[in-house]
């Protein structure tokens, strides 16, 4: 039979092991979060550099078409990053209003469309995988009251 002191020593040892394990897991989680933040921030830094280059080129050439081409390229770059991260635009074209995906800004009287059909998108909405991170702002049809 073991002595009570042996049990106490084992208990203290296990507590210390558990505490070390907990600290190691917390540290690993912090490192993973910093890695993810660094990855996203580096992409933002690259976009910032692209914008700065576009501004400098426009200042030198005074050509609005060059600026527009540069801005289009930057938007495409941003869209690629968002897509790589699992962010997708919420489709509103010819869709019925869904309160889980859209926010109504105004109602438009329209007897030609079914009730609660999206007429106009005022701001794009986005989903991260299946989770809405920003709802679409929309104008929705309604039937005129008779």
Q: Which CA distances in Å does 93 have to 12, 14, 39, 58, 131?
A: 64, 60, 33, 35, 20
CATH of domain 87-142: 2.30.22.10
Contact present, 131 and 103 (Cβ < 8 Å): no
Burial of 1 (0-12, 13-18, 19+ CB in 10 A): exposed
Domain boundaries, the chain: 4-84, 87-142
pTM of this structure: 0.69
Q: Helix or strand or coil: residue 126? A: strand
- Read off the pLDDT of residues 1-51 as tens digits, 9 standing for 90 and up: 567 668 888 999 999 999 999 999 999 999 999 999 999 899 999 999 988
How big is the chain, counted in residues?
146
pLDDT in tens, 88-105: 999 998 899 999 999 999
């Amino acid at each position: 039979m073991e002595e009570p002191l042996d049990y106490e020593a084992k208990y203290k040892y296990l507590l210390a092991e558990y505490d070390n394990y907990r600290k190691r897991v917390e540290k690993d989680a912090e490192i993973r979060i910093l890695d993810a933040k660094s990855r996203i921030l580096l992409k933002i830094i690259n976009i910032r550099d692209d914008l700065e280059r576009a501004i400098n080129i426009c200042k030198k050439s005074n050509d609005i078409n060059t600026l527009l081409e540069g801005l289009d390229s930057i938007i495409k770059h941003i869209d690629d990053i968002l897509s790589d991260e699992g962010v997708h635009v919420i489709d509103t074209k010819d869709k019925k209003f869904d309160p889980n995906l859209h926010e109504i800004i105004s109602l438009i009287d329209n007897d030609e469309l079914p009730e609660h059909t999206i007429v106009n998108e005022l701001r794009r909405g986005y989903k991260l995988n299946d989770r809405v991170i920003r709802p679409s702002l929309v104008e929705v049809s309604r039937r005129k009251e008779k």
